[in-house]
Amino acid sequence: MKIKLLTAIVASGVVLAGCKTMESADVGGLLDSGSTAMKAMTLTDDDVVTLSNDSCAAMDAQNKVADAKSKYTLRLNKVIAGMPQAVNGKKAVYKVYMTQDVNAWAMANGCIRVYSGLMDLMNDDELRGVIGHEIGHVGACPEFCVRGIA
């Protein structure tokens, strides 16, 4: 599988290099992109979880996380009460970031974050829908995340 992908990347570069429109293109950049794609394709499931652990810890350090007694954390705990506490063997770790941004995200390690700005705009059922979507990302990772699908 990896050899076929590498062959396709190299062949694409050769074909594109012959195009008139590629005369002003950055061929080095194209090769760098191919190299990055190959690195992504060779990541193991454990690599993806390790990267997710590091990224989630960094994001938590950069954002204000709602404390356990916050109205947002209490509401989130109520909303997720019937939702999975683990996905594909990974513990789901739900937290709220205190920000007016409207967002939510998840990582392959079960890290699921919801922004208070999003919570302010949604009722509990809408919030469950968003969180369910994020749970789907955890369930699809790391396989689909590595391939850039999720």
Determine whether 23 is an active site residue: no
Instruction: For residue 105, list its beta bridge partners.
Output: 113
* Three-class DSSP category at 122: coil
| Calpha distance 115→113 (Å, rounded) | 7
Residues in the chain: 150
148 Cβ partners below 8 Å, 6+ apart?
Answer: 40
- Catalytic residue (choose from 23, 126, 134, 143): 134
- Evaluate whether 115 touches 101 at the Cβ level (below 8 Å): yes
Q: What is the bridge-based pairing of β-strands 111-115 and 93-97?
A: parallel
- Evaluate whether 123 touches 106 at the Cβ level (below 8 Å): no
- Look-up: residue for tokens 């513990």? 91
What residues act catalytically?
134
